[in-house]
A and B are shown apart, each in its own frame.
Chain A
């Protein structure tokens, strides 16, 4: 995989220390020198990352190692090298795993929701698996998360009868069970309609006020509107770590609007007004345009996206 020009890794520390209940628990996730591969293929190579309270967007092309990183942070996979520290626990230590998992909400890319369960059965099952043993408390929690994702009226509908978007919302709901302080969402907005996406953004931004939310997505728009921090991963290493504005600035002076189709430019596309938006060297007679996060992302990974594609 090609990941464009080399870029200095920035380390932006955004973690905050937060008090939960009476116990002082450091709400942070730290990844130090992490490496992970499958067989002989290295997917993540010496990755350092620290996450704190707030919504962090994780961007990267397919195969960048986003899902692998999320799986390791979700304790669904172990690292080959390096060290993870999640909510003051070490996932390499078996005794620490329940402590992490009890306080973790995870929406995998393809949540294997059991099609023969109703929505509330699935959530009840997940709540039990998250050690919620009191039935009344579970009932209330299920009602809460269903309301959060606007699925209350579908509580007793079999999952196989739910639309793709509804299933995705149910997947999000299960990640919210138990109000976990660390939430990992892998492509959560896939299949959501615009209205649902807006609701989702409101929900996640609300969650991000008191929790660590790590959001992996291909939707730069979601990152721009939701995340106070964005990490761009490519070929298993961090290519950018900073604010969305910072990512947009990556394309500062490299975004243009041209009335003519550029002859040889890195990346361009035709916009709704008929002009061409160009990310790269200035074409002749082109106007300067203010860069977006998408432009910054494309600029950062420019070599992977060929013009005209």
Chain B
């Protein structure tokens, strides 16, 4: 190797290290990294990770990290083109093509480092106090890093071909527009999650190679700006051929066929429980989940078993199945009647309290004949349990798992039929759905939770206590409670 080429290599390495230090310290890159980590940790912290969902969402964040790096890469590339900078940089031994190559390599390394760091931070945060379910897909995560690298490479290419500072923001907008406009296209460098069916197919590993080929194309395109040598043209050609080949392999893969099937099937509404047929029976209750969610059945059981254990034995034989459902699809009333329907989320890091309380409430409601979430008694406005003895029972049953709380309220404006006038309405949202109850019932239930023989008393007086006609005053002697704060009267339609 000649002295000159050794010198060039050393200079390139020095320049690469210089650019890398800048890229890794660039405030724009770090701002985007902070935004992504902050946003993702905040939104996922209280939810159990479902890798089938989180892998795709985490990979998608590569787009945002890549946007930051694209801006900083673009600025680095434009450094020698702004103002009269060319005057300064033209007469130096290291030529502009070497500067472009160094910037490209630095961006690839910085993209890899920051992309991996951001993904590791997200995955690490999801592993805290969690019982993950779903498929942990390393190829999907690798795709997230690759899309970050791709965007930085595009930033360099944009800087070399279009000297304006506006080019990079426009390219970023185009990226985001394309990703959300053609969300199900596997030609996108990063494919958003498709909520068509639970465990919808994801692009195969070919897709990651496709993104790699795109990186090669844009990298070579950036260097092509400085001359059309055969080596550079060859790189673009090879990269383009690889991109076409890998895209074809991806689009003709078995996963793609499954995806097309899922898209076709999504045009016909399906039941929300279709596919939730992985069942386990425990303590007289059957739990059914989608195949990839079996890991959460023990969590459901922890929320249901204490309620069931507190019920009279004859009631335990008539309990509904706990069956997982998707967020969208058809809901058959009979499905609602026969099943308690937890979704595809479950809380953690404090969020599990609401998940457990909600599932306990569904079982308690089913046992006491109350409407459950999705079922309506008293019309869409819901019904009111105030004054009814079973309100105390159902809240006590919830208390076997988590401390019961008052219903939440929100104001909405509804348009009346006929005259079209708007009026304000208070929507009630309790763990049972649109079922209201008051502080008095809650207070009695809390007192009951501290009473040693409460379970025996409730089981002994079960029929009377869960009868909608039995009021709180009538229930107090059965429950061994003395009268406290008077129960308020039902404001809405009493629950039947």
Known A101-B91, A128-B18, A129-B93; judge A112-B85 contact (CB<8 A): yes
Q: Judging by beta carbons under 8 Å apart, are A109 and B87 in contact?
A: yes
**What's the nearest-Cβ distance from chain B to residue A78, in Å?**
11
Whether the Cβ atoms of B93 and A130 lie closer than 8 Å is yes
| CB-CB contacts below 8 Å: A93-129 with B | 97-98, 101-102, 104, 106, 108-114, 116, 124-126, 128-129
A198 within 8 A of B: no
User: Is B15 touching A129 in the complex (CB atoms < 8 A)?
Assistant: yes
Contact of B18 among A76, A101, A108, A124 (CB under 8 A): A124
Check if A133 is an interface residue, CB within 8 A of chain B: yes
A133 in contact with B10 (CB, 8 Å): yes
Taking a contact as CB atoms under 8 Å apart, the answer to whether A112 and B86 are in contact is: yes
Interface of B is mostly: helix
**Within 8 Å of chain B (Cβ to Cβ): is A75?**
yes
Indicate if the CB atoms of B87 and A113 lie closer than 8 Å: no
Residues 129-144 of A, flagged 1 when their CB comes within 8 A of B and 0 if not, give 1111101000000000
* B91–A74 touching, CB < 8 Å: yes
Q: What is the minimal beta-carbon distance from B16 to any residue of chain A, in angstroms?
A: 10
Partner-binding segment picked from B76-84, B208-216, B316-324, B402-410? B76-84
Count residues of A near B (Cβ-Cβ below 8 Å).
29
Q: Which residue of B lies closest to A116 (CB)?
A: B75
- Neighbouring A residues of B84 by C-beta, 8 Å: 108-112
Q: Please report which residues of chain B, range 74-116, place their CB below 8 angstroms from some CB of chain A when the two chains form the complex.
A: 75, 79-80, 82-94, 99
Cβ–Cβ contact A133 & B13, under 8 A: yes
| Bound complex: CA A137 to CA B68 (Å) | 33
Q: Is A217 an interface residue (CB 8 A)?
A: no
Report whether A104 and B18 are in contact in the complex, using a CB–CB cutoff of 8 Å: no
A132 CA to B10 CA, complexed, in Å: 9
- A114-B85 in contact (CB<8A): yes
Cross-chain contact of A101 among B15, B80, B86, B92 (Cβ < 8 A): B92
A174 within 8 Å of B (CB atoms):
yes
Q: In whole Å, how far is B80's beta carbon from the nearest beta carbon of chain A? A: 8
Q: How far is the CA of A130 from the CA of B92 in the complex (A)?
A: 6
Chain B residues lying within 8 Å of A131, measured Cβ to Cβ, are 7, 10-11, 93-94
Q: Which residues of A contact B92 (CB under 8 A)?
A: 101, 126, 129-130
The reply to whether B87 and A104 form a contact with Cβ atoms under 8 Å apart is: no
| Least CB separation from B26: chain A residue | A116
Contact of A98 among B4, B10, B13, B86 (CB under 8 A): B4
8 A–B contacts from the bound complex (CB under 8 Å):
A108-B87, A111-B87, A111-B88, A112-B80, A112-B84, A114-B85, A125-B18, A126-B92
A residues contacting B by CB (< 8 A) are: 71, 74-76, 97-98, 101-102, 104, 106, 108-114, 116, 124-126, 128-133, 135, 174
